[in-house]
Amino acid sequence: MKYFNYRNGHLFAEEVGIAQIADRVGTPFFCYSSSALEKQYDSLNTALHPLNANICYAVKANSNQAVIKTLAARGSGADVVSKGELLRALAAGIPAHQIVFSGVGKTAEEIHFALTERIGQFNVESLPELELISNIASKMGSVAPVALRVNPDVDAETHEKISTGRKTDKFGIDIEDTPELYGRATKMSGLKTVGLAIHIGSQLTSLKPFRYAFERLSKLVQVLRTSGHSVTHVDLGGGLGVNYIDETPPTPMSYAKVINETIGGLDVEITVEPGRFLVANAGILVSKVIFIKETAVHRFVIVDAAMNDFIRPTLYDAEHCILCEKEVSQGVARPAQIVGPVCETGDILVREVHLPNLTSHDLIALCSAGAYGAVMGSSYNTRLPTPEVLVKDQEFSIIRPRPTYSHILSLDRIPSWL
């Protein structure tokens, strides 16, 4: 997290004090570092350069248009999974031909819109989806570039809820069924079958599952070619893990090496869809202590951010580091549990952490919150959606303001009988 540092004992994002942002924006808020986003993109881009691979940022990880635009300025494409994400990617300036549309449940409206915009590729996950795209494209007199997303039956060795490449998961087409379906797809009108796609899971900290899945994919490409099919594109999905606490995820170079060894010789255009890798450690969630509540069992630090602002700890038992705005070298003996104000026992941000003696109004930052943070937020308990701030050098900009209560209330409609 080297873009979030202490200066004279206070936490900074790049050249801007976190306390200064909190004064302007209020808490809680997400804070992202432009340099961190750029550095992550560049490190992956450099590693993949010899493979001439396309990076299509998985927008789901953080879909703020300012974040997408920062990556688009480096040349990134986008991987989207809904019309909303497609609109965001286009609005942020990503050329349509650099956009891949993934997901198991694309609707007719979404497919129609994506075809109108002439996106680069549909990653298709079932026969009914192939038929629907074929139908719509034919009626429009258009040709949809499609890749079949394969389910390689690989255990990604990650959290149960973010594993996507096992036979039991809803994703992809069973690898055994793919050759037959690929053949059918090549004969369907309105489709141009360009290749294969895969995505086995998220937050992978070992290269082994990647290697295994890519090897299976490579064999499949050869099988298809032997049957006379053309395979020009291979999309390897996302999944590259990051360091949250003490993980040692693969480096971009070692990831690229595995791609080179498994796919490199196939003479195909390679795409990857990283999400978390690009944005997780470029963001923090800043919140303010409301109360310290000491009980016989716990020392609760009750802060103004909660599970509605950041659901990863509750949903995946995810662990995130904490930084205090004021630099203190020593924690107090009694560990703290950091919790939010939401009325659920599961509203825990950090289960156990040694922190200094905090008091009301102190600021803390939850680290590695740039991915799957703001995008998974809700307004549960009628809490206001969390604002987002982007820092660049000495400047910061509010890239999503906090809505007002009157705006939130005005979204409801009272039926005439009440």
Active site residues: 343
Q: Is position 312 an interface residue for ligand LLP (rule: CB under 6 A)?
A: yes
Indicate which single residue of 85, 273, 309, 362 sits in contact with ligand LLP (rule: CB under 6 A).
273
Q: What sign does the CA torsion over 213, 215, 219, 221 have?
A: positive
Is 274 one of the binding residues for ligand LLP (CB under 6 A)? yes
Q: CB-wise, 14 or 85, nearer to ligand LLP?
A: 85
CA triple 244-248-249, angle to 5 deg = 85
Amino acid at 410: S
Q: Which of residues 326-355 bind ligand LLP (CB under 6 A)?
A: none
Please state the closest distance from residue 273 (CB atom) to ligand LLP, in A.
4
Q: For residue 89, which amino acid is it?
A: A
Residue 125 touching ligand LLP (CB under 6 A):
no
Q: Is 77 in the site for ligand LLP (CB under 6 A)?
A: no
310 binds ligand LLP (CB under 6 A): no
Position among 63, 151, 202, 314 found at the interface with ligand LLP (CB under 6 A)? 202
Q: Rounded to an integer, what distance in angstroms lies between the CA atom of residue 294 and that of residue 370? A: 31
Q: Using CB under 6 A, which of 203, 287, 368, 386 touches ligand LLP?
A: 203
Q: Which of residues 237, 249, 250, 283 is near ligand LLP by CB under 6 A?
A: 237
Q: Could you give the 3-state DSSP secondary structure of residue 289?
A: strand
How many residues are there in the chain?
418
DSSP code per residue over 358-377: --TT-EEEESS-SSSSGGG-
Please report whether residue 209 would count as binding ligand LLP according to CB under 6 A: no
CB neighbour list of residue 22: distance below 8 Å, 6 or more residues apart: 29, 286, 288, 325, 363
Residue 11, CA distances (Å) to 18, 116, 369, 388 in order: 6, 47, 16, 17
Q: With contact defined as beta carbons under 8 Å apart, do 276 and 372 qualify?
A: yes
Which among 57-65, 345-353, 358-366, 401-409 is the span making contact with ligand LLP, rule CB under 6 A? Answer: 57-65
Question: Minimum CB separation from ligand LLP for residue 86, in Å?
Answer: 14
**CA separation (Å) from 170 to 44, 104, 157, 163, 398?**
29, 8, 17, 10, 38
- Output the DSSP codes for 317-348: -----EEESB--S---SS-EEEE-SSSSTT-E
The verdict on 199 binding ligand LLP (CB under 6 A) reads yes
- Decide if residue 61 touches ligand LLP (CB under 6 A): yes
The site string for ligand LLP over 239-268 (x = CB under 6 A, - otherwise) reads xx----------------------------
Of 54, 82, 102, 308, the residue at the interface with ligand LLP (CB under 6 A) is 102
Contacts to ligand LLP by CB under 6 A = 58, 60-61, 79, 102, 162, 199, 202-203, 237-240, 273-277, 312, 316, 372
